[in-house]
Structure 1
Amino acid sequence: MLSSCKIGLFADRWFTYVSLSLLRGSADLAQQHLFIDPMSGTQTIDRSPMRTEKELLIATKQYSSENRLLSWWHLLSTIAAFIGLFTLTWMKTPLWLRIPAGVCSGLTFVRLFCIYHDFAHHSILHGSKLAKVIMYTYGFLGLSPPSIWIRSHNHHHNNNSKLHGIGFGSYPLMTTDEWAVATKRERFTYAATRHPLTIACGYITIFLFGMCIRSFFISPKRHWDCGVTAVLHVGILAWVATYGLDVLVFSLLLPIAVASCMGAYLFYAQHNFPGVQYGDREDWTYVKAALKSSSYIKMNPLMRWFTANIGYHHIHHLNHRIPFYRLPEAMAGLPELQSPVTTTLSPKSILACFRSKLWCVEEQRYVSFDYLPPTPIKQLPQTVGIVNL
């Protein structure tokens, strides 16, 4: 099964390389600040002065054009991979094969979510009625109904890194001053929302309850599809359970739990990590929010495939019209994007991200719940001409 994944990854990368080679010409390479010596093949980066924020935004537009054939390839090949893995979990295969297939099925579901995310941003397959049917079907099956996902995610992009106004569509953020005057209930709700257990159980806490049930009861008319999604999901669980508890566990519960946990953590680590910067509305800029408040999550090639390059999140926030398969190309071509605040999926980095609890405005960093501000140093009286011993 792992060999099949590697073969699929190799085919995916080969198809991407060929398609992007056709998409861009030699003139584009000069604009990308990436120069290739035709004799030695050595790549060098142009060290010309950094662009202004406006110039950088304009420079990213050269990467925002999609290759329609490549977009369809990524979507259909991912669906095919998911169906193949799902079939392995449904069959009476040995546990040593069934469990890894369930995990990989969940990770492939993450990739489908990231592709759905790009479609919602109109960066791929925009205007295609067939793609809309496929993607909206995924939204219903993946506990991410189009109405609430598109609305909340657009709000998130427009308010990323602002100290106030980021609670909708993202994890809430409290400053140390706000925590000091918060009620016990407010503190409990805030701490519970950002707790690792809440993210690990994202299937129930974030997607089924938060994205579907809660959104529907808050606004049934606006988010009717959230109610439909919740009912449909429960119906599918009941139907699959008729085929046996093992089928329910390995074909649905395990993949969905893996996908939800991974998706919930990725969204957390993209904006809650050591080195992040937040600001007030006065000093907020779109480019600063993208480059200083959105992380670059380093991953190996297989995980980059499973997550559809969502780790290049600083570039995505800079220009959400760039298709996910062109994000690495944009990073290689624009020097301004090559020094992001970085995290990884290692246990050490994950623990560091989870330690990000409260924002200290004075120190411009995350601190723990038990943070105590430094005691001001008592100033001795100043007397001209006399030394106090």
Structure 2
Amino acid sequence: MRTGKDLILATREFAQDNTAKSWTAIVSTALLMLAATCAILLFANWWFLQLPISLLLGLLMVRMFVIYHDHQHHAILPRSKLAKVIMRAWGIFAMTPSCIWQHSHNHHHNHNSKLRSTHIGSYPVMTTERYKNSSQQERKKYLMMRHPVTILLGYFTVFILGMCIVPMLENIKANKDSLLALIFHALLYAIVTVTLGWQMAFFALFLPFFIASALGSYLFYAQHNFPQVIFREKEGWSYEGAALDSSSYCKMGPFMNYMTGNIGYHHIHHLNAKIPFYRLPEAYAKMPELQTHRTTSLSPQEVLRCLSLKVWDVEQQKLLPLKEALAN
């Protein structure tokens, strides 16, 4: 069983972009999104038909976001100028400008599971000791950032606020795409509402954005906040360990694997972010070292377990619910 550098080098076999597959994924996903939007328009008088189509559109937006995410890692179409323009436009549309995403997400990959660096590009993690020594205000802020409602409302908390408003206020010159995203978003809602009505704005825009953002926010949370996760201080940290011990494999069926762009194979993605999303299952199947993973799922029971976890207990080496951690 390969470990360390040998394991990472072995994954290079799969870190090869297939231009035809990449463009097929982009075009087919865009066409499905367009078809779903047209269907919502077609069934304007039947909200009970618009609802499931709107849910489907939200899931397709998750898939397109994962494709965008892969492009930002240069895993797909790294030299295509057209892809760069399209993906930048998608980042603005999806309230995740590339200038913000690249900085925060690259930091996340380079510092994943480090206790003192988890607050950038990820959900913050406090040790039990640090939580006990924090002020009441610091505790409230910390728990609010990890609260299930904050994750559910990811459209507002993570994307509109975290990816657009805050960066814009910090440095509008460097983060002008954040302002552009906010302006575009407001105009899009205004145009659709005025020309097609509030119901169309709700089913074609708000609900898909809300669903995609909530699912995306939860997946990003659960990929690094699950019962078997391991966090380390700087001294015991390694890139391989952060990938295999601190990034989960989220078990999903074929439908959800398609809709989430295989993001459930997250431990492999963290081991080598240059592997295109459509090759992650192949790498998993061919490398036994990647099959001894730490698993989560989207079952209601597992979702509740992950959401209940609050602080890292150094002595037990576990992420624990708050009551359990403070009782020890």
Both structures adopt the same fold (TM-score exceeding 0.5):
yes
Deviation at 1:96, TM superposition (A): 2.8
* 1:75 aligned to which of 9, 26, 43: 26
Structure 2 SS opposite 1:372: helix
* Matches of 2:207 and 2:327, distance apart in 1: 44
Which residue of the partner structure matches residue 230 of structure 2? Answer: 277
* Matches of 2:233 and 2:107, distance apart in 1: 16
Deviation at 1:368, TM superposition (A): 2.1
1:1-389 matches, within 5 Å, as 50-91=1-42, 92-242=44-194, 243-370=196-323, 371-372=325-326, 374=328
Which of the two has greater helix per residue?
2
Rg (Cα) greater in structure: 1
Contact in 1 for aligned 2:226/2:306 (Cα 8 Å): yes
CA RMSD of superposed structures (Å): 0.9
* Matches of 2:61 and 2:34, distance apart in 1: 10
Deviation at 1:341, TM superposition (A): 0.3
Contact in 1 for aligned 2:128/2:326 (Cα 8 Å): no
Structure 2 SS opposite 1:188: helix
Moved more, 197-206 or 215-224: 215-224
* CA deviation map 1:72-105 (0-9, x unaligned): 1111000000000011122325223211100000
Identity percentage over the alignment?
A: 46
* CA deviation map 1:346-368 (0-9, x unaligned): 00000010111000011100122
Structure 1 SS opposite 2:26: helix
Aligned residue pairs, count: 325
Structure 2 SS opposite 1:359: strand
* CA deviation map 1:237-262 (0-9, x unaligned): 11111120111111101100010001
* CA deviation map 1:177-220 (0-9, x unaligned): 11111111111111011101011111111100111001110121
* Matches of 1:366 and 1:166, distance apart in 2: 14
Aligned partner of 1:74: which letter?
A
Gaps of 5+ in 2: none
Contact in 2 for aligned 1:90/1:250 (Cα 8 Å): no
Structure 1 SS opposite 2:172: coil
Gaps of 5+ in 1: 1-49, 375-389
* Matches of 1:93 and 1:114, distance apart in 2: 33
Higher relative contact order, structure no. (Cα contacts within 8 Å, ≥ 6 residues apart): 2
* Matches of 2:294 and 2:4, distance apart in 1: 18
* Matches of 1:372 and 1:127, distance apart in 2: 51
Q: TM-score, normalised by structure 1?
A: 0.82
* Matches of 1:350 and 1:368, distance apart in 2: 13
* Matches of 2:27 and 2:177, distance apart in 1: 25
Contact in 2 for aligned 1:119/1:135 (Cα 8 Å): yes
Structure 2 SS opposite 1:122: coil
Aligned partner of 2:294: which letter?
V
* CA deviation map 1:134-184 (0-9, x unaligned): 111100000000100011000000000101111010001111111111111
Aligned partner of 2:68: which letter?
Y
